[in-house]
Amino acid sequence: MVKKIILPLLILSLLCTSAWAAEVVKIGSLNDVTGATSDVGKDMALGIREAVAYVNDTGGINEKKIKLFQYDYGYRVPEAITTYKRFRDYDKVVMVLGWGTGDTEALSPTINRDKMPYLSCSFSGHLCDPKKTPYNFVYGTDYSTNARAAITAWYEEIWMKSPKWKKAKESGRKPRFVCSYAFASPYASAPIKAIKDQAKLLGFEIGPDQDVSLTALDAKSQVLGAKAFKPDLMWHGNTTMSVSTTIKDAYMLGLGADHIINNWGFDQNLVRLTAEAGEGVIGAAACAFYGMDVPYMDKVVEYTKKINPGVAQEVRDIRTVQAWVKVQMAVDAMKIADKKGQLNGPGILSAFETFRDWSPFNTPGALGRPPVTYTKTDHRPSAVSMIYIIKGGKITLLKKIDMRAKYADKWMSWLGW
Amino acid sequence: MGYLPCGIYHEYYKQDHAWWQTRFVYVKMVLLVLVLILFPYLVSPMWLSVAYTISYYILACMGVQLLIGYCGQITLGHAAFVAVGAYTSAMMVLFIPWPKLIVDWGLAYPISMIAAGIAAGMWSVLFGLPSARVKGFYLIMTTMAAQWITVPFIITQYVSRIGGRGHYFSLPPGTVKLGPWVIDSDVKVYYLSAALVVLLTLVMANLLRSKVGRAWIAIRDNDIAAETLGVNIVWYKLVAFFVAGFFAGIAGSFYVTALYFVSPEHYEWFFSLMWVGVILIGGVGSLHGTIFGSMFVVLVFKFLEMTIIPMTDMFPWFAMKLIYIKESAFGLAVVLFLLYEPNGLSYRYWQLKNYFNLWPFSY
């Protein structure tokens, strides 16, 4: 067995490490393809590798190729810590593409001490205050802004306009609102304070929170718990599998409420999993959905077929597109830093903070990502949230909301939560 | 060959249980301490985080080993006691208005660590109470209840919400201080972990050669016979739960220094299961087993990572398809050990040691 399997593996790994003698830019990527968030993590992991392949095929970082160190940490924080330290000390990466809120916030004190730029898939508002976490960056509109935007969009577009709520509205009662999320998950709990604040601002009545696990296969008791409050609207803070379970149970038990969902629970998989129960469900999204007609989507599709031909097109999702936005953002920051001869932590940090209305590929509207701006005092990438709705089994844009324009007096006070 | 124990015979139990039975053992231990001290200078910094993760597992598994390996009380909820320790320590450091003298002298964290041990010990006793009436599978259920009641319910729903931060606590840099040293680098975390492992291993080894330890082993071997001999089995079982919980509390408090962050997600049931797996791999009823098992589990994941990451460049499908090997490796290791080496790695170590001890007359 030693001769047949282990020896060839060791030789191959040695070959792989020595094959990269040319000048390269090393980046690390922590992914979850086997853990609690693997329902959305697998597509992201595929997308990262495809996006990096595209960058390397089109000139890399100022002609330097990217060497990607990608690893699954199974959503286990101790493994995220040791893998990050491998990236830092052994692979000597210049920046890290991170994953969940739990590990990003757990690593935050360390990466800020190490001056390691960390662009995560967690859009937690807690990571957006440069006074506390200068080296943390998020590439999508933060969860808190998304949550505020989603509840506002529902209030303005559905509660105020839909015949479903006409009677309730005319009776003069307030909309009733509950939150369903995994209390223990930093990701799911991150925007709760913000969305409740927004609900109060809009005059909602707030019911008891319901604790639904990220890996829930049944949420009937939570739905029944919420039903006692007779909610009109339910916020879902988990990822797709768990959210679809709750929505199906709500449909089965006749909850009667509308649903709004955070971005990691809203995708084409949700449409497939919920079928008629998902009709009218509203959710936030960081960029365009896979296959939508936006600039550069053709490149995304081309590279999914080129790099991972074995993965069926039907199962590809918005997570692939998000991966491209993430990689493009990291690449553009590294290009700026490299041109200044500062391809290091502080150099990349400064480069990010020069972003003003940034779009992928310098093309407004590319991949459906609203423009991104980072400043030295505010790392929230955007005040614009894209709120979508499922209609006739298709995801369509419900409203594009600029929360800064809408709440100019409050916008700065929302920083960091 | 005078330094080898071959041919040394003990006449008294005292000699049999002595720490330093021969000069060779003395030299071996001094060398071990030297290696632990010099370790950060011998390896790349990456290995420090691996080393203190191993230490964390050792500290956490020490209590599991005590309960299962020495007292025969099966536990499947040990992550709950580690969580109690971590939260006690983090909250004491964060929320108690410590007098300036205590802060200046760096005593807040050490005090919180001892309090964490005591709190986790008491919590463990609470869930150990059913052991007075039930054993075997039924005791497994009560310890599992400890996990579900503690982490997803009490900590997540109530404790985590204190302070309005959300569902987790983040400690500001510099708040974890041990005397004059601020624990703010991997080297310091490593030294703290190594010191705790050495200290708690000594405590555990001493306990095991005392009256208490003998009572635990008697209960494990046959509780009815032990009771007939006059051992107060309920008392000693509860002492075992307290000590196991105390070690878990210290482990939880220690890991706060590595992360400066505490979240209920860090103490999921998976860890309770894994720590039982660690002692199955290392060897049930052996202190060495706790250490070998922890090293095995952390290093297997590390070596898989070291193999898979470089290969994904040339074979991208590695990252997505063969990654499941990593997830299966732990389960497979437990199954293989149960089938082919039920006594665990410590038995292999014992065989190896004996071979050299008896050399050249090992037959």
Which residues of chain B lie closer than 8 angstroms to A74, CB-CB? 326-327
Q: Which pairs count as long-range contacts for B38-46, CB under 8 Å and 24+ apart, including other chains?
A: B39/B190, B39/B194, B40/B187, B40/B190, B40/B191, B44/A89, B44/A90, B45/A85, B45/A88, B45/A89, B45/B186, B45/B187, B46/A82, B46/A85, B46/A86, B46/A88, B46/A89, B46/A90
Q: Which residue among A46, A70, A85 places its CB closest to the CB of B49?
A: A85
pLDDT score, position B166: 59
CB contact under 8 A, A77 and B264: no
Contact between A181 and A237 (Cβ < 8 Å): yes
Smallest Cα–Cα separation from B259: which of B67, B87, B84?
A: B87
**Nearest-CA residue of chain B relative to A114?**
B185
Which residues of chain A lie closer than 8 angstroms to B257, CB-CB? none
DSSP state of B22: S
Q: Which residue among A85, A186, A211 places its CB closest to the CB of B265?
A: A186
The Cα of B262 is separated from the nearest Cα of chain A by a number of Å equal to 8
Contact between A243 and A236 (Cβ < 8 Å): yes
Q: Which residue among A49, A109, A183 places its CB closest to the CB of B173?
A: A109
In 3-state terms, what secondary structure has residue B184? coil
Q: Which residue among A68, A79, A193 places its CB closest to the CB of B166?
A: A193
Which residues of chain B lie closer than 8 angstroms to A78, CB-CB? 53, 56, 266
Smallest Cα–Cα separation from A194: which of A148, A262, A260, A261?
A: A148
CB contact under 8 A, B316 and A76: no
CB contact under 8 A, A71 and B305: yes
CB contact under 8 A, A184 and B186: no
Residue A17 has pLDDT above 50, yes or no: no
Which residues of chain A lie closer than 8 angstroms to B307, CB-CB? 9-10, 13
The Cα of A391 is separated from the nearest Cα of chain B by a number of Å equal to 33
**Nearest-CA residue of chain B relative to A45?**
B320
In CATH, the number for domain A24-141+293-381 is: 3.40.50.2300
Residue A201 has pLDDT above 90, yes or no: yes
Which residues of chain B lie closer than 8 angstroms to A76, CB-CB? 270
CB contact under 8 A, B46 and A78: no
pLDDT digits (tens, 9 = 90+) for A47-77: 999 999 999 999 999 999 999 998 888 888 7
Residues β-bridged to residue B178: B181
The Cα of A363 is separated from the nearest Cα of chain B by a number of Å equal to 29
d(CA B254, CA A182): 26
- % of chain A at pLDDT higher than 90: 76
Residue A16 has pLDDT above 80, yes or no: no
Contact between B277 and B334 (Cβ < 8 Å): yes
Which residues of chain A lie closer than 8 angstroms to B306, CB-CB? 13
Q: Which phi and psi (to 5°) does residue A341 adopt?
A: 70, 25
CB contact under 8 A, B166 and A86: no
The Cα of B175 is separated from the nearest Cα of chain A by a number of Å equal to 12
Q: Which residue among B258, B301, B306 places its CB closest to the CB of A81?
A: B258
Could you tell me the two tokens for A243?
């959210």
Could you tell me the two tokens for A330?
């990291």
Q: Which residue among B44, B46, B263 places its CB closest to the CB of A186?
A: B263
CB contact under 8 A, A102 and B265: yes
Q: Which residue among B151, B171, B309 places its CB closest to the CB of A69?
A: B309
pLDDT digits (tens, 9 = 90+) for A69-106: 988 888 887 788 888 988 998 889 999 999 988 788 88
Residue A14 has pLDDT above 70, yes or no: no
Q: Name, in order, each residue with C-beta under 8 angstroms of A272's C-beta and a sequence gap of 6 or more.
A: none
User: Hey, what amino acid is at A239?
Assistant: T
Count of CB atoms situated within 10 Å of the CB of A196:
18
In 3-state terms, what secondary structure has residue B182? strand
DSSP state of B126: H
**Nearest-CA residue of chain A relative to B270?**
A76
d(CA A318, CA A42): 12
Contact between A204 and A180 (Cβ < 8 Å): no
Provide the number of CB pairs (under 8 Å) joining chain A to chain B.
145
**Nearest-CA residue of chain A relative to B327?**
A34
Per-residue pLDDT band for A13 (boundaries 50, 70, 90) equals low
Smallest Cα–Cα separation from B358: which of B23, B3, B2, B7?
A: B7
pLDDT score, position A37: 84
pLDDT score, position A80: 86
Residues of chain B with pLDDT under 70: 1-7, 164-168, 313, 316-324, 327, 362-363
pLDDT score, position A18: 44
Same fold for the domain at A24-141+293-381 and the one at A144-285+385-414? Answer: yes
* CATH class label, A144-285+385-414: alpha beta
Which residue ranges make up each domain of chain A?
24-141+293-381, 144-285+385-414
- % of chain A at pLDDT higher than 70: 95
Residue A31 has pLDDT above 80, yes or no: yes
Could you tell me the two tokens for A35?
């853990």
Residue A46 has pLDDT above 80, yes or no: yes
Please tell me the pTM assigned to this model: 0.80
Contact between A31 and A43 (Cβ < 8 Å): no
Q: What is the mean pLDDT of residues A284-297?
A: 95
d(CA A327, CA A66): 11
Q: Which residue among A46, A83, A189 places its CB closest to the CB of B166?
A: A189
Cα A185 from chain centre: 15
Q: What is the mean pLDDT of residues A178-191?
A: 89
**Nearest-CA residue of chain B relative to A85?**
B46
Interface test with A, best of B167, B278, B330 (most A CBs within 10 A): B167
**Nearest-CA residue of chain A relative to B170?**
A106
d(CA B244, CA B338): 24
pLDDT digits (tens, 9 = 90+) for A103-155: 888 888 889 889 999 999 999 998 999 998 999 999 999 999 999 999 999 99
- 3-state helix/strand/coil string of B248-302: HHHHHHHHHHHHCEECHHHHCHHHHHHHHHHHHHHCCCCHHHHHHHHHHHHHHHH
The Cα of B313 is separated from the nearest Cα of chain A by a number of Å equal to 7
